[in-house]
Amino acid sequence: KAGVTQTPRYLIKTRGQQVTLSCSPISGHRSVSWYQQTPGQGLQFLFEYFSETQRNKGNFPGRFSGRQFSNSRSEMNVSTLELGDSALYLCASSLDTGNGNTIYFGEGSWLTVV
């Protein structure tokens, strides 16, 4: 069974540009969530999607957005990139059975903003 797949794995962008990251969840998983990981802040929740609807949102500015498609694949977008957006962006998927859902992480997309 394939795991959570994220693309691209590594990318370098310039301040002011925008970036789109993609996530394919484990087959059958309908919940997809996104996290930002930095050395200073640890894992910070960005947002969570279920059946193409955003159900939860973390405390990030509106430059961070996402969406989910009918096949549960998800994308997140960061506009007007800032140096502080450099981080590992992790996607996680879950079956969402409603009782202690385990989330499974992808290997992440390393974003460097210069």
Partner 1 sequence: QQPVQSPQAVILREGEDAVINCSSSKALYSVHWYRQKHGEAPVFLMILLKGGEQKGHDKISASFNEKKQQSSLYLTASQLSYSGTYFCGTDPNTGNQFYFGTGTSLTVIP
**Residue numbers at the binding site for partner 1 (CB under 8 A):** 4, 31, 33, 35, 41-45, 48, 50, 55-56, 58, 90, 94, 96, 98-108
Q: Name the minimum Å distance from CB 28 to partner 1.
A: 15
Burial class (CB within 10 angstroms; exposed 0-12, middle 13-18, buried 19+) of 6? buried
Please answer whether residues 93 and 84 qualify as being in contact, where contact means their C-beta atoms are separated by less than 8 angstroms.
no
Of residues 38 and 80, the one with the C-beta less far from partner 1: 38
Quick one: which of 1, 70, 6, 69 has its CA closest to 34?
6
As measured in angstroms, the least distance from the Cβ of 84 to partner 1 is 17
Q: Smallest gap, in angstroms, from Cβ of residue 102 to partner 1?
A: 5
